[in-house]
Amino acid sequence: MKIATIIYTLLIVGIAILPSCKFDGNPTENNDAPIYLDSLMPSPAPPEFEKNIGDRIAIIEENGKFDAYCQILDKADTVYLIASSVGRSNLQEWVKADEYRSYYKNAQNSSVAAIKTDAYEIRIGNGRLSKIIWIEGSSIFPAPWIELKSLKKNDSVLIRRFGDFEPHHAIILEDVKANNNWALVRYKGYNSSEVAEYDYIFNSIDAAIYDSIVPGNILYYDKMNWVMMIAPKDSLHAIVRTSNFPPIDMVVPLKKLQVLK
């Protein structure tokens, strides 16, 4: 009788413990969950591409942060970070070479704190929360945004908004002007028109395939967030960097990544 009671007790305890244990019997269990790395991997080098004032691009800042919403405001062969003492204040500002030679090269209360070559003045973000920095061309990457001024009346496009489960097909209703960051569109099957911002409009949306993506590509993760491809992990996974602060590198399944152009 005592033995039976002991066996019964052990069975009850085992059943209570069983749900809290994770077994490795199913190799695909929860394989969609991202795996966060403890530290950032080396940032990839950007491809060679033409960079002009006004272009919308992506960058990796000096702290490793990835930013997809950037625009080139100016460029220079060399810029200097000038540190100046004015009374009790210590000021810093970036200046181009001509201004440096004219006003700061021999100034007693100023010194050069840093120098950047192949430099670009970049606005990160839009509106009141935007910031402006100088960054070298080796930190600039092509962004997925299409050139809006190339869109003409009756062109077919895809509209992908944050969180959309599937993209929407739309028609451009009028030629897009050179300085516009939006287009007037009409969704297929609807009569009303709507303004679509530049970061909603694409020509194509495709699944990310192992052989077709390379480090530095900007990809759409889980139909919600822009990430940068850092390195392939295996034929089914990639290491990507989020646009969070602080930046995070994580391993994600390729099936959750899309290529938007």
pLDDT, tens only, 38-51: 999 999 999 999 99
Residue matched to tokens 């077994």: 23
Query: How many angstroms separate the CA atoms of 123 and 130, rounded?
Result: 7
CA distance 151 to 149: 5
Please say if the pLDDT value at position 14 is more than 50.
no
Q: DSSP strand E in the chain: where?
A: 35-36, 56-60, 66-86, 89-96, 110-124, 131-136, 140-142, 156-159, 168-172, 182-187, 194-197, 201-202, 205-207, 218-221, 225-234, 237-241, 249-253, 257-260
Which DSSP symbol is given to 13?
A: H
pLDDT over 70 (residue 18): no
Strand partners, 120: 75, 135
Beta strands in 87-167 (DSSP E): 89-96, 110-124, 131-136, 140-142, 156-159
60 HSE (CA, 13 A, CB side):
26
Output the CA angle 169-154-195, nearest 5 degrees. 60
Mean pLDDT for the stretch of residues 190-218: 93
Mean pLDDT of 157-183: 90
Give the whole-number percent of the chain exceeding pLDDT 70.
87
Dihedral sign from CA coordinates of 84, 90, 131, 61? positive
Cis peptide bond upstream of 232, omega within 30: no
Picking from 143, 163, 257, the residue whose alpha carbon sits closest to that of residue 209 is 257
Which helix (H) or strand (E) covers residue 2, if one does? helix 2-17
Residue with the bigger pLDDT between 241 and 1: it is 241
End-to-end CA distance of the chain: 73
> Exposure of 157 by Cβ count < 10 A (0-12 exposed, 13-18 middle, 19+ buried)?
buried
Residue with tokens 């809290």: 20
- Read off the DSSP letter of residue 175: P
For residue range 131-148, what is the model confidence (pLDDT) as tens digits?
999 999 999 999 999 999
pLDDT interval class at 31 (50, 70, 90): low
Is the pLDDT at 11 greater than 60? The verdict is no
Residue 189 pLDDT > 50: yes
Predicted confidence band of residue 199 (pLDDT cuts 50, 70, 90): very high
Token pair listed for 12: 């009850």
